């Protein structure tokens, strides 16, 4: 019987191909796929932010599983997949602590203007008089968390150690939360000095951090995004930074990835990283191992380890 194949659908995941193969998977690459291989593809190992259209999935007649190495799966129409006999899994909660660490790092870097100050020293522009009273303190301010899942809760716990008052909002209430839930996203933005976006991306919340929400955070406030780029109206964010309606922003995720550098060339007050928040040396092997486990379980007809919650 022909060996079932796990398809790598995006080129940047080829760096993980040896790990997939060491885990017992026979792999194929989407951009090199032969007709014989196409008929043997039973699963896709995937980065969930990258779109897999139903039209493309229909070309894989034996497909039964999309195993996301990522926590997110916003590039996949889960309802369509399940209606067509395709299950979807993800790396549930495995890198939340690393993403939260990165969010706090971005917050500190932007709030205290660390990248600019680093360049000041390296460029020989250190002026003693400019050291005095040049940075606002962090303690006692309010940090608002958008989306109190694994990542959002980890951010909130860390924020308390920095003497920040924590509030949060998401569409679904959590009675067990130790932090107060705002009445609405806009109310959270108005109350927050720092708004940290940790929500799961889905069609219903695209652009939820709108121009109105951005301006509610205000000219003395900051937005941090470690969720998904689709959650923020990115042109509105850049316009607010340029006009002074928003003080600072710190982003690890973008509407288009890689984000075009020229979009940010003249944008003040922004600290940017290339979607690396969850990619630690410790988390990535766990995420890969869970994807492999899900594929192996699927092929054996066993219960999946981390299926996406029903939609």
Whether residue 306 lies inside any domain: the answer is no
Angle formed at CA 225 by CA 218 and CA 214, multiple of 5 degrees: 25
Measured CA to CA, the distance from residue 288 to residue 24 in angstroms comes to 12
Confidence of residue 185 (pLDDT cuts 50, 70, 90): very high
Q: Do 75 and 52 meet the contact criterion of CB atoms below 8 Å apart?
A: yes
Has 150 been annotated as catalytic?
no
- On the question of pLDDT at 255 being above 90, the answer is yes
Would you place residue 268 in the very low, low, confident or very high pLDDT band (cuts 50, 70, 90)?
very high
Indicate whether 107 and 225 sit together in one domain: yes
Write down the catalytic residue from 17, 38, 257, 297: 257
Look up 228 and say whether it is catalytic.
Answer: yes
Question: Are 126 and 225 contained in the same domain?
Answer: yes
CATH number at residue 42: 3.40.50.720
Catalytic residue among 158, 228, 234, 248: 228
Q: Is the pLDDT of residue 133 over 80?
A: no
- Kindly calculate the radius of gyration of the chain based on its CA atoms and give it in whole angstroms: 21
Do 292 and 177 fall within a single domain?
no
Question: Helices 150-161 & 96-111, crossing angle to 10 degrees?
Answer: 50
The mean pLDDT value for 36-64 works out to: 97
Per-residue pLDDT, averaged over 251-273, amounts to 97
Share of the chain above pLDDT 70, in %: 99
What would the two tokens of residue 142 be?
Answer: 């309010």
Are 248 and 108 part of one and the same domain?
Answer: yes
Q: Report whether pLDDT(1) > 80.
A: no
What's the structural domain count of the chain? 2
* Cβ pair 236, 211 in contact under 8 A: yes
Phi, psi at 162, each rounded to 5°:
-95, 15
Residues 232 and 105 in one domain: yes
**102 in catalytic set:** no
Task: Identify whether 307 is part of a domain.
Answer: no
Q: Are residues 119 and 188 in the same domain?
A: yes
Read off the pLDDT of each residue in 87-104 and give the average, rounded to a whole number.
Answer: 96
pLDDT at residue 207 greater than cutoff 80: yes
Domain that holds residue 58: 5-94+281-300
CB 292 within 8 A of CB 76: no
How does the average pLDDT of the chain come out, rounded? 96
- Residue 311 has a pLDDT of 65
- Model confidence at 130, in pLDDT bands (50, 70, 90)? confident
For residues 67 and 46, the answer to whether their CB atoms sit within 8 Å is yes
């Amino acid at each position: 019987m022909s060996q079932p194949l796990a398809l790598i659908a995006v080129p940047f995941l080829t760096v993980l191909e040896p790990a997939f193969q060491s885990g017992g998977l026979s792999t194929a690459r989407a951009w090199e796929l032969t007709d014989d291989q196409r008929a043997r593809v039973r699963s896709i190992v995937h980065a969930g932010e990258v779109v897999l259209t139903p039209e493309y999935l229909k070309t894989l007649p034996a497909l039964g599983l999309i195993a996301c190495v990522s926590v997110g799966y916003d590039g996949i129409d889960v309802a369509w997949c399940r209606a067509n006999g395709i299950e979807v899994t993800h790396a549930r909660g495995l890198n939340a602590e690393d993403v939260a660490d990165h969010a706090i790092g971005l917050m500190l870097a932007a709030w205290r203007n660390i990248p600019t100050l680093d360049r000041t020293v390296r460029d020989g522009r250190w002026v003693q008089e400019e050291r005095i009273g040049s940075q606002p303190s962090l303690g006692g301010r309010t940090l608002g968390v958008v989306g109190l899942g694994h990542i959002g809760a980890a951010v909130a716990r860390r924020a308390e150690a920095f003497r920040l008052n924590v509030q949060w909002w998401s569409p679904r209430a959590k009675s067990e939360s130790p932090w107060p839930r705002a009445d609405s996203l806009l109310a959270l933005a108005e109350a927050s000095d720092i708004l940290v976006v940790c929500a799961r991306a889905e069609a219903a919340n695209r652009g939820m951090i709108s121009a109105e929400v951005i301006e509610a955070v205000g000219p003395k406030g900051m937005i941090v995004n470690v969720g998904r780029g689709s959650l923020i109206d990115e042109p509105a964010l850049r316009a607010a930074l340029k006009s002074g309606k928003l003080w600072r922003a710190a982003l690890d995720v973008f509407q288009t990835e890689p984000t075009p550098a020229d979009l940010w060339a003249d944008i003040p007050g922004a600290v940017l990283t290339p979607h690396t928040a969850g990619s630690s040396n410790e988390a990535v092997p766990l995420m890969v191992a869970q994807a492999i486990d899900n594929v192996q379980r699927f092929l054996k007809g066993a219960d999946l380890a981390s299926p996406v919650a029903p939609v």
